[in-house]
Amino acid sequence: MAASGFTAALPSFLFTQSVLGSHCQNHLTRSGLLNPCLCTFSSLKANHVASLGNCKRLTRISRLSGRRKDFHVRSALPDDAEEASTSGSGDDDSPTAAEIDWREFRARLVARSAAEAAERAREEQLESDAAEDRAVPEIQPGGSWAHPLVLPEVGALVIAKPGYFNQNQQYFNHAVILLLHHGEEGSMGIILNKPTEHTLGTLFEGIDTLSPELASGRLYLGGDVGHGATHVLHRHSDLDGTRKVVEGVYTGGFEAIGEHIRAGKSECDDYRWFHMYAGWGPGQLENEVKAGVWFLGSCSRDLLLTHSEDLKTPLWDEVLQLMGGTYAEVAKRRAEDMP
């Protein structure tokens, strides 16, 4: 499935084994990283990693997200944002067109379109379940949101469908994967909701001395490719070496994080650490989506940055519930089946 076909020709936002030391891989091989999914890295086959050569960074993304650079919000803006963008006066905290998160704006359009479709269905006296199937929860200001996508894009969620990973590759069972790269060379991302029993301090030798402020950082299983590669996800755009994933969500900036915490500008729990990653070869992710292995979606930044253990509802269930319709029904069936 996802592990085959993407190489460790890693972008600069990854730690390499030369930075973290070989202690990481040896420790994982001895103990196994992921307690909830009962998997050990020694069981991962070498043929899950195939070389793709040098990887271009953030080449072409899907047609939807490819419009980002030239995305100008006009009359379709929410009323408060439109007034702020045209009046040039009033409350300084009001958002301007340039400050609107295009993903949230798209999510509002999706929710509005779904509500209109549901209303038309009711007017046409269709079956109530048909109308309900079109429903997407209304987005509240500052609230969490999620909606389906048709095509993969950087910042998209790749969500495991039930039943595909019950026996094999169990670390993908109910996984929610954030895509950090998607292009002609393939795709790569990190699993957001697979916490481990480890912290940076227990896994990486010497970090207690070199960067004690990072030692308590919680560690997640990011995937099954790239031993020695570690990613970090955070909201701090002012860190040197960061790369934006989506508006308000960044990766990288490793060398600056310790100083940032010591200066009181951030806290250790602001950062989500992931060991290894999930990878797909050219066209592989699209083919697996067509085959029904994955759902695709987009979600608000708070769901990406909050530690999954701190969520009231498991991330997989939360995202599907917010996506509404048949997706919410899938989450509901899982909740009913849980003891």
pLDDT of residue 106: 80
Q: Compute the distance between CA of residue 14 and CA of residue 3 in angstroms, rounded to an integer.
A: 17
Mean model confidence pLDDT for the chain: 74
Q: What is the 3-state secondary structure (H, E, C) of 40-97?
A: CHHHCCHHHCCCCCCCCCCCCCCCCHHHHHHCCCCCCCCHHHHHHHHHCCCCCCCCCH
Going by C-beta distance under 8 Å and a sequence separation of 6 or more, which residues neighbour residue 191? 171, 172, 175, 176, 177, 220, 221, 222, 223, 274, 278
What does the pLDDT look like over 23-42, one tens digit per residue? Answer: 444 444 444 444 333 333 33
- By percentage, how much of the chain surpasses pLDDT 70? 63
What does the pLDDT look like over 105-115, one tens digit per residue? Answer: 787 787 777 77
Same domain as 197, residue 163 = yes
Q: Compute the distance between CA of residue 62 and CA of residue 67 in angstroms, rounded to an integer.
A: 9
Q: Is 80 exceeded by the pLDDT of residue 231?
A: yes
Domain tally, the chain:
2
Same domain as 160, residue 122 = no
Same domain as 228, residue 105 = no
Same domain as 165, residue 30 = yes
Domain edge (last residue) among 90, 117, 142: 142
Helix (H) or strand (E) holding 296: strand 294-299
pLDDT of residue 215: 94
Is residue 32 one of the residues assigned to a domain? yes
Eight-class DSSP state of 182: E
Which residue bears the tokens 């891989």? Answer: 25
By C-alpha distance, which of 276, 270, 277 is closest to 250? 270
Q: Compute the distance between CA of residue 7 and CA of residue 279 in angstroms, rounded to an integer.
A: 8
Eight-class DSSP state of 171: G
Give the alpha-carbon dihedral of 178, 182, 188, 192, to 10 degrees: 0
What does the pLDDT look like over 121-147, one tens digit per residue? Answer: 666 655 544 444 445 566 666 789 999
Is residue 30 one of the residues assigned to a domain? yes
Same domain as 244, residue 138 = no
Same domain as 92, residue 23 = no
Is residue 318 one of the residues assigned to a domain? yes
Same domain as 100, residue 49 = no
Eight-class DSSP state of 313: S
Helix (H) or strand (E) holding 31: helix 23-31
Eight-class DSSP state of 213: G
What does the pLDDT look like over 293-323, one tens digit per residue? Answer: 999 999 999 999 999 999 999 999 999 999 9
> Helices (H), strands (E): how many in the chain?
12, 11
Alpha helices, DSSP H only, in 94-173?
102-123, 128-133
Q: Is 191 buried (19+), middle (13-18) or exposed (0-12) by CB count in 10 A?
A: buried
- Model's pTM, two decimal places? 0.67
233 and 242 Cβ atoms separated by less than 8 Å = no
Q: How confident is the model at residue 94 (pLDDT cuts 50, 70, 90)?
A: very low
pLDDT of residue 81: 41
241 and 255 Cβ atoms separated by less than 8 Å = yes
Same domain as 105, residue 173 = no
Same domain as 273, residue 224 = yes
pLDDT of residue 186: 97
Is residue 5 one of the residues assigned to a domain? no
Is residue 11 one of the residues assigned to a domain? no
Same domain as 193, residue 119 = no
Domain edge (last residue) among 142, 174, 195: 142
Same domain as 49, residue 77 = no
Residue 109 burial (CB count, 10 A): 12
79: left (phi over 0), alpha (psi -120 to 50) or beta: alpha
Structure tokens at 20: 């973290």
By C-alpha distance, which of 147, 200, 192, 144 is closest to 172? 192
Domain edge (last residue) among 142, 162, 184: 142
Same domain as 250, residue 123 = no
pLDDT of residue 140: 66
β-strands 272-280, 218-221: how paired? parallel
Return the CATH number at 287. Answer: 3.40.1740.10
Exposure string (b/e) for 221-251, b if CB count within 10 Å is 16 or more? bbbbbbbbbbbbbbeeeebeebeebbbbbbb
265 and 210 Cβ atoms separated by less than 8 Å = no
Is residue 3 one of the residues assigned to a domain? no
- Give the amino acid at 81: A
pLDDT of residue 8: 36
Residue-range definition of the domain harbouring residue 245: 17-63+148-337
Is residue 41 one of the residues assigned to a domain? yes
Is residue 12 one of the residues assigned to a domain? no
